[in-house]
Structure 1
Amino acid sequence: RKYNYSKDETNDYTLPRLSFDEKLRAHQSNRLNETFGQINYPFQFQSNKQIRTNNDTLVPIRCKSPYNNGRIHIYENSCQMLDIAIDWQLRSLLLHDNIAVINRSFSFNEIRSFATAIEANLEGLTLSSVGLTARSIHVLCQGLKKCVHLNLLDLSCNKLSKQSFELLVDTFSYFPLLHYLSLANCGIQDSYGRSIGDLCRHKRLIEINLSGNEFEDMACILIGGALTDNTRLIDLNLSWNFIRSYASIALFRGFEINKTLTEFDISWSGLGYDGSVALRRVLIVNQFLQRLNISNCNIDRASAKLISEGLQKNSTLQKINLSFNPLTTYGVHNIVQALNHTKSAVSMLDISVG
């Protein structure tokens, strides 16, 4: 709306109360014109009195008519009414190349505002535990597609549906420089299928954190198959999943061929005897793995014996974590004896139990 009044009437003029529909139209117009809450002069040059006034009322958007004509849009109150983050606050974030928001619940409208205003200069984005939903992930993916310089993406601790996960995996193809990805504690289930394998086949990712999800046999088969093709991945974290003995067998088959992975974390899983048989083969065949975390994996005396046989013939592993496993004295003796072999390169062994 446009309000015309003389200079003498300026001080006594009271802004009318806008209806909800009028506020919605004001916000939509603001987004359409890409004005994002800007006023006729930069916000930082306002006096303290003006800033306090604007906090209580509104920051007018850029005026197409002269300021004296008094065309005013009540913007900040509109954002509060519509549960939308104020755009100039988002703008202050988007000046940075790396943005991290943790443990702060975002509404759909806030994610939409963020995704709309996001800039192509973004290099790192962390939105951990912000309450992403299927709708908000959809609009976020649309905004991220223009971030061609993105190299770090952390969306951990957000519940992902199958559809949302598939959409994310498809979006990753737009990031030619993406190196680090974390989808830890996102509730990714075994039934999500082929997209899990497609994620681990990404041509640019160097480090993937998928800990705290719900991977079982099918996911391990797909990841194992992806590792046979992957020539880029260096660090893979699959800890705290539902990986048991037979699932680990399918997973370790990929390690027999993979020549790039140097760090692997499968802690808090159930390798058991069958998984230890597969791990023995990996330790014998794979000459690239340097750090291995198999803590709390139900490795008993018999399993420790199998692992020690693999360690005797391995010359690249540098660090191995076997803590919180029921190794027994005999199991520990077998492990230590294997590490005393002249071929062994292990410099750190963790067998602590508490």
Structure 2
Amino acid sequence: MSDGGFDGLYKAKLRDNGIEYSDEDYKRFCRQLERSFSLGVLDLSGQRIGINMLTKLTKVLRTAPHIRVFNFYGNLIRDHGMHSLLQLLMANSQVEVVDIGCNDLGSPSIPNIIDIIKHTTVKSLQLGATGAAWHNNKFSLSCLADLINAIRGSGKIEALGLSGLKMSTREGTRRITIADTLADYINDDETLRSIAICDCGFTLREEDIVTTQGLLSNDRLKFLNFHSNQLADPVGPNFLSQIGLMTNLSYLDIHSCNLSSKAGLALAEALRTPSNLTILDISDNYLGDEGAIAMFTVLLENQTLTELNIACNRFTDMSAEVIGNVIADNNILCYLNISQNPIGDNGAYSIADRISGNEALTKLILSSCRMTDEGAVAITSALASNTILRILDISDNFLTRECGYQIIDSIRANESLFKIDVSATQINHFVSKAINDLCRRNKQIERETGLQPLKKQMVQLSIQRTKMPEAESRLEKLNITREQLEREVIDTQEELDSTESTSNANILVIRKSIQSTHEMIAEEKEAMKKLEVEREKMIDEYENAIKELLGNCEKEKAITEKLEKDAVDIEKAVSTEQEEAEKKQNEIRKHIEQLNEIKAQIIELTKDPEKVREFEPPQLEISLDPTKDKFFLNDEILDDRETEKKGKKKRGKGKGKKKTARANSPKSSRAKAQSTLSARKRKTSPKPEAPAPAQETNTTHPSPNNSPPASPREKTVEETDIAASGAAFNINVDGNTAPSASNLAATTGNIPISSRKGTGKKKGTGKKKGTGAVSALNRPPSARRK
């Protein structure tokens, strides 16, 4: 932005200040803006601007979107201008850094500041004092507590400046403080990286709260400005001994904190452990020789600290030796300030002996060290071979005018020193000017050294200028050659175009074929995937079928083995039963043959009644006792069936119509039949044989005992026996029917057959009649004769 672009801003400044136009003030205003404007910084610090300037900036910033920083330190924005600043920040969301320290702000501006924190993109907020303070901001403790809580809740502020804001005051006999609130914020905030809380009015106990509960608990801090606070014993040593807990800390400023030698020892011990600390300012304290020696001893081993300000710490030439060792052995330290410490000429000699070989130190401050001409000349003489040191400050020492001439002679050969400060000494103005001229010479040499390559190029160009005619003839030939080449290029280009068109057509055809091939490949892949799926499915089905068949085979094999075993058992049983049946059949045949023979004999006997009476039945191998053969149990079986039917009817009345599948099954029927047969066997157990009745004869055939003839109405024993014997001969092997009892009686014609059942009564004897003829046949002959 040109000077004309700053006219509107300068007029707004005049309205805020209520002063008249001044060329000098206008130029200074423009220079300040120009230096920072290109760097993205709007620097209006110390210009006493107010609400008119803030209103004007809205239009100016529309054409400057690169601005990221607002530096409004040391102005007169006041409470009524904070709303305009809020609107300006909300309209320029690219601004992230705001410095509004020393703007005569009070508690009424806190709500606008809280809105800036919550509703804008500001990440760095400076509210305290950093330099000369004319209109410090003054907030009540309750408003400051609200502000800190708002910052804590937003989680956006990375850098915060609260230096010079009183956070502890006394009201009568009572002290009010917000040290706990500040400590909790520092401990809990995850975003905070830089904080400045200098000269906040804390007491020693409150400093202990802030350091131990706040700072030491935050290992994310990188920048800590904590100067001008009360860190006397034991708070200071306790805090500095644990400074290693702040692992990311790279900048620490604790000057003017009333630190003792114990604090220096504690800090030195803490720095022995590796850390990221690169800049340390512990000036204006009370370390003394003990603390200073400990600090310089640590620098012999420390590989991170590049800047150390240990000025005004009241150490003497007792520390001179260790200072010389640091300068000789430490190749990391670039800045060293040991001013305002009475090290004297001994310290100067120690530095002079070792500074010539130092390859890191670029700035050395030795002002107010009580050096004399000898010490200063020794140092400057040693710098003749040092090409690294750029700034040397030996002001405010006991130097005379003659020392100035000696300094000029000693540094004349040095071309790397840019500044030697000999102010506040007895060296006069002319010597000082000569020293400054030498320093300017060195700067000029530095610039010329940088321009030396350009100068060489200038010489080369001038030499080449003399060769221009020859170069022009060559250029003409080159132009002709160029024209020929251009024509060839045109022809070649045409060929390339035709080749390119042909190639493009061929490429299109190839692409189509490739595309169709890809499609076919894709289809084949899909078909292969489907076939693969079907194959896997068929394999699974085949495996399942095989498993099922194997299972069925195993089952059938087991069943077959069982059936084969049962068949073998059945064959054995059948063969056994068949053999038994054949045996029984043979026996029955024998019995039938025997019976047939007896039958034939009986038929022959029936033809002769006399022989019938004398007939003695032969002894049979077969038992014809009705109690032993089921053949003679027909009547009992019929009776049992009638009894069962009656029993079923009775049970049906009691149980109703209930039927079961088990009762109707063939197995249950067979079981019932077997139980019935066993019952019948029990019923037909052998009874005691009745005495044989006396034989009865009719009138035609008298019995040998001459018994009276039987009554026609009575059934004789012979009738019953013959009927039974007829029944016994009823079955034939050939299926023919044997003569029955009635046929037998009819054949003889001598034995009357009665139709009544039961037994008759004997006449005269009073005895019952015997059993039938068949029973008589089975009786022994002796019994029959009786």
State the TM-score, normalized to the length of structure 2.
0.33
- Amino acid of the residue matched to residue 190 of structure 2? A
Which residue is 1:43 aligned to?
A: none
Deviations 1:259-304 (A, max 9, x none): 1000111122212111111111231232210001111222211112
What is the correspondence of 1:83-232 to structure 2 with a 5 Å cutoff?
87-94=145-152, 95-107=156-168, 109-118=177-186, 119-140=189-210, 141-192=212-263, 194-201=265-272, 203-232=275-304
What is the correspondence of 1:3-22 to structure 2 with a 5 Å cutoff?
none
Which has the higher Rg, Structure 1 or Structure 2? 2
Unaligned runs of 5+ in 1: 1-51, 56-79
Whole-Å Cα distance in 2 between the matches of residues 286 and 225 of structure 1?
17
What is the correspondence of 1:264-283 to structure 2 with a 5 Å cutoff?
264-283=336-355
Whole-Å Cα distance in 1 between the matches of residues 262 and 183 of structure 2?
29
SS at match of 2:197: strand
333-342 or 152-161, which moves further after superposition?
333-342
User: Residues 231, 156 of structure 1: CA spacing in aligned structure 2 closer, same or farther, 3 A cutoff?
Assistant: same
TM-aligned CA deviation for residue 110 of structure 1:
0.2
Q: Does the Cα contact within 8 Å between 2:311 and 2:340 map onto a contact in 1?
A: yes
TM-aligned CA deviation for residue 84 of structure 1:
5.9
SS at match of 2:329: coil
- Amino acid of the residue matched to residue 92 of structure 1? A
The one of the two structures with greater contact order (alpha-carbon pairs below 8 A, sep at least 6) is: 1
Q: Does the Cα contact within 8 Å between 1:182 and 1:209 map onto a contact in 2?
A: yes
SS at match of 1:256: helix
Whole-Å Cα distance in 2 between the matches of residues 171 and 121 of structure 1?
22
Deviations 1:222-270 (A, max 9, x none): 0111001110111100112212222233333223211100011112221
SS at match of 1:308: helix
State the TM-score, normalized to the length of structure 1.
0.71
User: Residues 170, 142 of structure 1: CA spacing in aligned structure 2 closer, same or farther, 3 A cutoff?
Assistant: farther
Which residue is 1:311 aligned to?
A: 383
User: Residues 318, 266 of structure 1: CA spacing in aligned structure 2 closer, same or farther, 3 A cutoff?
Assistant: same
SS at match of 1:292: strand
TM-aligned CA deviation for residue 305 of structure 1:
2.2
SS at match of 2:162: strand
Which residue is 1:351 aligned to?
A: 422
Q: Does the Cα contact within 8 Å between 2:327 and 2:355 map onto a contact in 1?
A: no
Q: Does the Cα contact within 8 Å between 1:157 and 1:185 map onto a contact in 2?
A: yes
Q: Does the Cα contact within 8 Å between 2:368 and 2:395 map onto a contact in 1?
A: yes
Unaligned runs of 5+ in 2: 1-107, 112-139, 169-175, 426-786
Deviations 1:115-142 (A, max 9, x none): 1133121111111111333432332232
In terms of fraction of residues, the more helix-rich structure is 2
TM-aligned CA deviation for residue 308 of structure 1:
2.2
Q: Does the Cα contact within 8 Å between 2:355 and 2:383 map onto a contact in 1?
A: yes
**Number of matched pairs:** 275
Deviations 1:7-57 (A, max 9, x none): xxxxxxxxxxxxxxxxxxxxxxxxxxxxxxxxxxxxxxxxxxxxx9xx9xx
User: Residues 86, 326 of structure 1: CA spacing in aligned structure 2 closer, same or farther, 3 A cutoff?
Assistant: closer
What is the correspondence of 1:29-108 to structure 2 with a 5 Å cutoff?
87-94=145-152, 95-107=156-168
Which residue is 2:413 aligned to?
A: 341
Q: Does the Cα contact within 8 Å between 1:255 and 1:282 map onto a contact in 2?
A: yes
Which residue is 1:288 aligned to?
A: 360
Whole-Å Cα distance in 2 between the matches of residues 208 and 86 of structure 1?
29
SS at match of 1:269: coil
* RMSD after superposition: 2.5
Q: Does the Cα contact within 8 Å between 2:261 and 2:286 map onto a contact in 1?
A: yes
User: Residues 348, 168 of structure 1: CA spacing in aligned structure 2 closer, same or farther, 3 A cutoff?
Assistant: same
Whole-Å Cα distance in 2 between the matches of residues 138 and 117 of structure 1?
15
Whole-Å Cα distance in 2 between the matches of residues 157 and 278 of structure 1?
32
User: Residues 197, 171 of structure 1: CA spacing in aligned structure 2 closer, same or farther, 3 A cutoff?
Assistant: closer
256-265 or 164-173, which moves further after superposition?
164-173
